[in-house]
């Protein structure tokens, strides 16, 4: 019937302390108490402020995009851009880093999901422990009302079937037998009081909603990260094929994905700071949450589970229940001592066996209840829940936050670089290599060569099958003093 040995205490991690140390400011930028309390409007404002930080950065990024795109629209990009390979390599490196960041997000998402599942499993274990406690109480009640009560009634009938027994002796036998039954009823009353004080927690709805939230959050995040990975692969394809269409497609969906990244980062930052505040002092949160359902000493007993600090609040009730079973056996033995003198033993065997069997089952049930109400089981579930949400899910959420923030920054760079590079994709017909310029300058004076090259760079070539094409090159040949051997005398093709 004694207390269970002390079990390990929950330890606050360095990451939890770091996030909890973030300043908590309300909407008026005044410091507020950082203790986790969702019923406090100021505290909720402080979480909203942290969630708004990535959103504000998103607005700044979109403003930079607007100014940059306006500048690019007003800029005349007429010169040959020799930095196109550099732009391609820059996009490739940023896309590769984005893939790495998204990969970290996948890992963080799995960790966060694993932590939520750990929390759900711990809550399910607590629900199972409380359910077993209630079932033991029901079994005890059934045992008393059926097995023991039937045995007591059988013994009384046996007393009444022998009128030759002295009335005073028969009355005394009835008295001892009734006293034994009252003691067994007191056992149930004590157990019922224990069940009332410790079994009022109903975590069924919490388990159901938390499991659903965990699955939906994991699936939505997985789809979002997969979408970001597909965009990175699409950009790789666009760079490899020098496709203007794929680059434009990435710019369009990249801005949309950028918005999703920073919005999701804001949500994860808000959640991470709130969870860290909860993990620093979880007992305060549970005291406030369960204050209307469970007594404070009972809650402290299960949260701390230290027999050197808090004794078992059910110790007296369990001791009284055990004493009642002993007293019931003593009263029953007194009744049988008198009954065996006047009543044949075989006549009392069946009812007496039922009563003793019922008392034995009552003692066994009481031992099970003593084990269940001990702090070890529920405190282990409490520690498991805190380990899951604070030491597994929280680091996963922080990894996911870093992944989304890094991906958002890289996507901003990629959108800017891609918007500069796409103009030069698919326009090779307008550019000339160094070998082409060497052929054009062959046999020409220096000034004439520069004029021709500048003319070719700034003037798009006419269509091959148009008359302008032949007039164009005919005029150039006349300016250069005759037909040039490198073009071999262009003639209009015969229709």
Residues 246, 488: Cα–Cα separation, whole Å: 40
Does residue 183 have a pLDDT over 60?
A: yes
pLDDT score recorded for residue 3: 46
Q: Among all chains, which residue has been given the structure tokens 């698919």?
A: 426
Does residue 427 have a pLDDT over 70?
A: no
* Residues pairing with 31 in the sheet: 25
Q: Which residues lie closer than 8 Å to 277 by C-beta, 6 or more apart?
A: 19, 20, 34, 35, 36
Tokens matching residue 166: 């002295």
What confidence category does residue 486 fall into, taking pLDDT thresholds of 50, 70 and 90?
A: very low
Residues 124, 104: Cα–Cα separation, whole Å: 30
Model confidence, pTM? 0.76
Is there a contact between 365 and 140 (Cβ–Cβ < 8 Å)? yes
pLDDT score recorded for residue 425: 64
Instruction: Determine the 3-state secondary structure of 438 from DSSP.
Output: helix
pLDDT tens by residue, 196-215: 877 677 788 888 999 999 99
pLDDT score recorded for residue 23: 92
Tokens matching residue 55: 């959103």
Does residue 155 have a pLDDT over 70?
A: yes
CA distances from 337 to 169, 177, 183, 360, 437 (A): 11, 11, 19, 20, 127
Cα dihedral across residues 146, 148, 149, 152: positive or negative = positive
Helical residues (DSSP H) of 143-162, grouped into ranges: 149-160
The residue-averaged pLDDT of 214-222 equals 94
Helical residues (DSSP H) of 281-393, grouped into ranges: 282-290, 296-304, 315-342, 345-373, 375-386
pLDDT tens by residue, 47-81: 999 999 999 999 999 999 889 888 877 766 544 45
| Chain length of the chain | 495
The residue-averaged pLDDT of 21-40 equals 89
Residues 358, 239: Cα–Cα separation, whole Å: 82
Does residue 267 have a pLDDT over 90?
A: yes
Pick 274 or 85 by higher pLDDT.
Answer: 274
Residues 303, 9: Cα–Cα separation, whole Å: 9
Residues 89, 421: Cα–Cα separation, whole Å: 11
Tokens matching residue 239: 């760079």
């Amino acid at each position: 019937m004694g207390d269970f040995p002390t079990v390990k205490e929950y330890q606050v991690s360095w990451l939890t302390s770091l996030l909890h140390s973030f300043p908590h400011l309300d909407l008026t930028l005044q410091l507020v108490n950082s203790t986790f309390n969702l019923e406090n409007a100021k505290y909720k404002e402080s979480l909203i402020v942290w969630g708004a930080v990535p959103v504000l950065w998103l607005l700044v990024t979109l403003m930079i995009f607007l100014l940059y795109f306006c500048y690019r629209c007003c800029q005349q990009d007429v010169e040959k851009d020799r930095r196109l390979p550099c732009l391609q390599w820059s996009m490739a490196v940023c896309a590769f880093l984005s893939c790495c960041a998204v990969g970290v997000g996948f890992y963080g998402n799995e960790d966060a999901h694993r932590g939520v599942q750990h929390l759900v499993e711990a809550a399910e274990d607590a629900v199972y422990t409380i359910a077993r406690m209630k079932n033991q109480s029901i079994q005890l009640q059934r045992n008393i009302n059926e097995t023991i009560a039937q045995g007591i009634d059988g013994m009384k009938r046996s007393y009444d079937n022998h009128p030759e027994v002295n009335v005073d002796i028969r009355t005394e036998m009835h008295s001892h037998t009734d006293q034994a039954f009252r003691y067994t009823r007191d056992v149930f009353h004590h157990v019922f009081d224990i069940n009332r004080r410790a079994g009022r927690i109903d975590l069924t709805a919490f388990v159901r909603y938390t499991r659903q939230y965990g699955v939906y959050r994991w699936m939505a995040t997985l789809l979002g990260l997969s979408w970001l990975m597909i965009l990175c692969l699409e950009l790789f394809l666009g760079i490899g094929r020098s496709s203007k269409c794929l680059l434009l497609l990435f710019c369009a969906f990249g801005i949309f994905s950028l918005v999703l990244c920073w919005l999701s980062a804001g949500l994860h930052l808000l959640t991470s700071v709130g969870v860290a505040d909860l993990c620093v002092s979880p007992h305060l949160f549970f005291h406030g949450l369960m204050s209307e359902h469970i007594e404070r000493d009972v809650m402290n007993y299960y949260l701390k589970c230290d027999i050197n600090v808090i004794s078992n609040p059910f110790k007296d009730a369990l001791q009284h229940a055990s004493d009642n079973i002993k007293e019931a056996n003593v009263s029953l033995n007194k009744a049988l001592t008198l009954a065996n003198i006047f009543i044949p033993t075989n006549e009392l065997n069946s009812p007496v066996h039922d009563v003793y069997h019922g008392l034995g089952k009552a003692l066994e049930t009481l031992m099970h209840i003593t084990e269940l109400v001990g702090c070890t089981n529920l405190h282990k579930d409490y520690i498991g829940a805190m380990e899951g949400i604070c030491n597994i899910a929280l680091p996963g959420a922080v990894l996911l936050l870093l992944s989304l923030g890094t991906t958002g920054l890289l996507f901003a760079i990629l959108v800017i670089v891609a918007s500069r590079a796409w103009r030069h994709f698919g326009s090779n017909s307008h550019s000339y290599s160094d070998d082409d310029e060497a052929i054009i300058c062959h046999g020409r004076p220096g000034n004439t060569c520069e004029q021709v090259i500048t003319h070719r760079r700034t003037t798009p070539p006419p269509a091959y099958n148009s008359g302008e094409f032949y007039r164009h090159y005919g005029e150039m040949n006349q300016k250069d003093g005759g037909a040039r051997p490198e073009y071999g005398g262009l003639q209009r093709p015969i229709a």
